Amino acid sequence: MKSLQVTAFLATSALASGQGVSIGIVNAGFEAPAIPADSFATTAPPPGWSGVGPLDFGARTIGVLNPGASGLYPLGVPEGQNCGVVFLLDNFGNQSFFASQPAGLVQTLSANLQTSTRYRLSVQVGNLASAPGFPHSQFQFGGFPSYRVELLAGGQVLAADNNSLTPNEGEFELSVVELDIGGSHPLVGQALGVRLLNLNAAPGIEVNFDAVELRAESIPVDGVNYCTAGTTTAGCAATLTALGVPSASAANGFVLSANNVEGQRAGLLFYSVAGPNSSPWSPTSSSLLCVKSPTQRLGVGNSGGNAGACNGALSEDWNAFRATHPGASGQPFLGGELVYAQAWFRDPPAPQSTNLSNARVFVVAP
């Protein structure tokens, strides 16, 4: 029998910093080579990193910067003394020419892509400010040439942050890329990698990076609970459980249940393949919507049990639903997908006249 474990490590919808296992990145904070304050070293890639894109180690180059008190980063860098540099100046005589030829830093890691794993790549992205001293004063660092942070496997892009942030001049912001790998993926076993690009697409010349971190956490195939149940008028907090193996081919054999539901209530289970979520069901509701839209409803049922008691339950065989609803959200399932499930039921005195259970994520087997 499969274990019906209810663990705490997906208590939030995202893998927070500090959770899971950290995957080794060489020179993740660009502290090597160590250089004096208010100086840079851009004649070679920083140890552990390689160059990617058109670079000449002159006008278009990578390396490290220790801004010191130069004014390039008045608040300092997020970690240590140095940050990574991607400096792309296409034409020394004309700093308004932007070639839009991305270039930057790449590192292939010693860890390989694994199944049933949630990855979280975080990188501090910096927007260099103009500064008065030489040699900074000869460059127009005002503006931001755009960036992309990529998580790689086998040299191919798995997930990316394509310039979603615009840090203030002279400041850093944290870019986070999260990815769930289910029961299978074409790049499983391939070496993971990180690529940090300056998109060379607008004024500003330089993008900086610091404190690169990649964390991984396993997601058991038969599922884990996450998010928080609402509390019903009668004080019930409905909890999802599962029994069996979620399958892309089996006709039945994976029963999702919401237990501890108020008795004699109409309700249903629903799921999403779009990802986890945690948004208020209504401004005054204690329930959270724990899955992203679009959502797919399963069948409506009655919770049974006794009115006013917490002994109701809503159950349905997800495999049977999948097998008989070829047009349902996420179809056709092939195996490897992550599915996020939750239950909804009537609670007439409550805000929205309804409440929601906690949620459960599971990996579909082939």
Residues near Ca ion (CB under 5 A)? 29-30, 79-80, 82, 127-128, 141, 204, 210
Q: How far is the CB of 191 from Ca ion (least distance, A)?
A: 24
Residue nearest to Ca ion (CB): 29
Task: Please state whether beta strands 156-161 and 103-112 pair in parallel, antiparallel, or not at all (unpaired).
Answer: unpaired
**Tokens linked to 266:** 């109409």
Q: How far is the CB of 327 from Ca ion (least distance, A)?
A: 50
In the bound state with Ca ion, the residue whose beta carbon lies nearer, of 209 and 271, is 209
Whole-angstrom Cα distance, residue 337 to residue 343?
20
Q: How far is the CB of 174 from Ca ion (least distance, A)?
A: 14
Cβ-contact 133, 38 below 8 angstroms: yes
For 35, counting Cβ atoms within 10 Å of its Cβ (0-12 exposed, 13-18 middle, 19+ buried), the class is middle
Question: What SS3 string covers the chain?
Answer: CCCCCCCCCCCCCCCCCCCCEEECCCCCCCCCCCCCCCEEECCCCCCCCEEECCCCCCCEEEEEEECCCCCCCCCCCCCCCCEEEEEECCCCCCCCCCCCCCEEEEEEEEEECCCCEEEEEEEEEEECCCCCCCCHHHCCCCCCCCEEEEEEECCEEEEEECCCCCCCCCEEEEEEEEEEECCCCCCCCCEEEEEEEECCCCCCCEEEEEEEEEEEEECCCCCEEECCCCECCCCCECEEEEEECCECCCCCCEEEEEEEECECCEEEEEEECCCEEEEECCCCCCCEEEECCCCEEEEEEECCCCECCCCEEEEEEHHHHHHHCCCCCCCCCCCCCEEEEEEEEECCCCHHHEEEEEEEEEECEC
Q: How far is the CB of 30 from Ca ion (least distance, A)?
A: 5
In the bound state with Ca ion, the residue whose beta carbon lies nearer, of 72 and 229, is 72
In the bound state with Ca ion, the residue whose beta carbon lies nearer, of 171 and 217, is 171
Q: How far is the CB of 277 from Ca ion (least distance, A)?
A: 33
In the bound state with Ca ion, the residue whose beta carbon lies nearer, of 30 and 333, is 30
In the bound state with Ca ion, the residue whose beta carbon lies nearer, of 53 and 204, is 204
Q: How far is the CB of 15 from Ca ion (least distance, A)?
A: 23
In the bound state with Ca ion, the residue whose beta carbon lies nearer, of 168 and 279, is 168
Q: How far is the CB of 93 from Ca ion (least distance, A)?
A: 20
Task: Return the closest-CA partner of residue 126 out of 74, 91, 90, 178.
Answer: 74
Q: How far is the CB of 291 from Ca ion (least distance, A)?
A: 37
Whole-angstrom Cα distance, residue 66 to residue 70?
9
In the bound state with Ca ion, the residue whose beta carbon lies nearer, of 161 and 210, is 210
In the bound state with Ca ion, the residue whose beta carbon lies nearer, of 29 and 51, is 29
In the bound state with Ca ion, the residue whose beta carbon lies nearer, of 32 and 159, is 32
In the bound state with Ca ion, the residue whose beta carbon lies nearer, of 133 and 189, is 133
Q: How far is the CB of 160 from Ca ion (least distance, A)?
A: 22
Whole-angstrom Cα distance, residue 6 to residue 223?
8
Q: How far is the CB of 207 from Ca ion (least distance, A)?
A: 8
